Amino acid sequence: MLIEIWSPVFKKNGKTREPIQFHPGLNVIMGMDLADNSIGKSSSLLAIDFIFGGNSYLKSIAVKKLGDHPIYFCFQFEKKFYFARDTAKPDIITYCNDDYSPTGETMPLEIFLDKLKKRYHLDSPYLSFRLAMSGFFRIAGKNNQNTDFPLQVYSSQKSSESITTLIQLFNLYDNIARYKERLKDKSDQLTTFRNARKYAFISNLVGGKKQFEANVSEIKDWNMIYHISKILSKIKLTLMILRKINKKSNLEILSWS
């Protein structure tokens, strides 16, 4: 878990404050007595979100007023791990010593988030670490503040996607994934079929009563053509027989003459 956060821009009474400690259970960020409302509560929460890979802090008032700066932090798992992430280079995570001096070793943010995903035992292959975490950071300055959609991770996320994320969070999505993939495949097929009919790439066999009557009329026409062709075939056969008879008769007349 995250147990500590520190930055040289975190001030108290004009002086850089000591690292902020976190403990298991509920941790509360409170305003000071006799302070106005704009004392940095949201910025503090955005800084924590920044540690977990969020980017909303980059556009926060803190960065606009104070300029780019590093955020140092410590995670406790089987041992303590010290890192830093700088707003000037947000895609890079820097390894630190226990006094937060950089070791010189770095890693990409994506790899860092993958490591955190494993540490927090988020085993679903369908769920990214940020997708799992971001919905729990509902802070002024982020785009998921709509209280009518409490499961929404980002503002454009559909309700069905929000529910899917929740199921993935509890590692239960594997049980329904194959059915959802089949449903999507069949839905895509249906959409393709409807579009093909819409643009007449395939014939529309169901066209209402008018189309039905036209089809019946066409069938009658083809039946008539079929019967006529049979009659013509019989006439043709009859003519052939008559020619043969006529030819034979002529030969007999010649033989008697």
Q: What is the CATH number of the domain that holds 2?
A: 3.40.50
Instruction: Give yes or no for a contact between 56 and 49, defined as CB atoms under 8 angstroms apart.
Output: yes
Residue 149 binned pLDDT confidence (cut-offs 50, 70, 90): confident
Shared domain for 3 and 116, answered yes or no, is yes
Shared domain for 130 and 115, answered yes or no, is no
Structural domain including 29 reads 1-121
Q: What is the mean pLDDT of residues 231-255?
A: 69
pTM: 0.68
Q: Is the dihedral of CA 239, 241, 246, 250 positive or negative?
A: positive
Q: What is the mean pLDDT of residues 82-92?
A: 97
* Residue 12, strand partner residues: 15
What does the alpha-carbon distance between residue 170 and residue 111 come to, in Å, rounded to a whole number?
22
What does the alpha-carbon distance between residue 198 and residue 195 come to, in Å, rounded to a whole number?
5
Shared domain for 76 and 152, answered yes or no, is no
Residue 257 binned pLDDT confidence (cut-offs 50, 70, 90): very low
Tens digits of residue pLDDT in 41-55: 888 999 999 999 999
Residues found in the chain: 257
User: What is the 8-class DSSP label of residue 195?
Assistant: H
Shared domain for 146 and 49, answered yes or no, is no
Shared domain for 100 and 128, answered yes or no, is no
Shared domain for 182 and 145, answered yes or no, is no
Q: What percent of the chain has pLDDT over 70?
A: 89
Pairing state of beta strands 70-76 and 20-21? unpaired
Cβ neighbours of residue 164 under 8 Å, at least 6 residues apart? 173, 180
Shared domain for 222 and 158, answered yes or no, is no
Domain count, the chain: 4
Tens digits of residue pLDDT in 28-79: 888 766 555 555 788 899 999 999 999 999 999 889 999 999 999 999 999 9
Pairing state of beta strands 80-86 and 102-108? unpaired
31, amino acid identity: G
Shared domain for 48 and 104, answered yes or no, is yes
Shared domain for 164 and 64, answered yes or no, is no
What does the alpha-carbon distance between residue 250 and residue 239 come to, in Å, rounded to a whole number?
16
What does the alpha-carbon distance between residue 36 and residue 59 come to, in Å, rounded to a whole number?
22
Tens digits of residue pLDDT in 98-129: 999 999 999 999 999 999 999 999 888 888 99
Shared domain for 106 and 40, answered yes or no, is yes
Task: Give me the pLDDT at residue 33, please.
Answer: 65
User: What is the 8-class DSSP label of residue 53?
Assistant: T
Q: Mark out the alpha helices in the chain (DSSP H runs).
A: 41-51, 61-66, 109-119, 129-134, 159-169, 174-198, 208-256
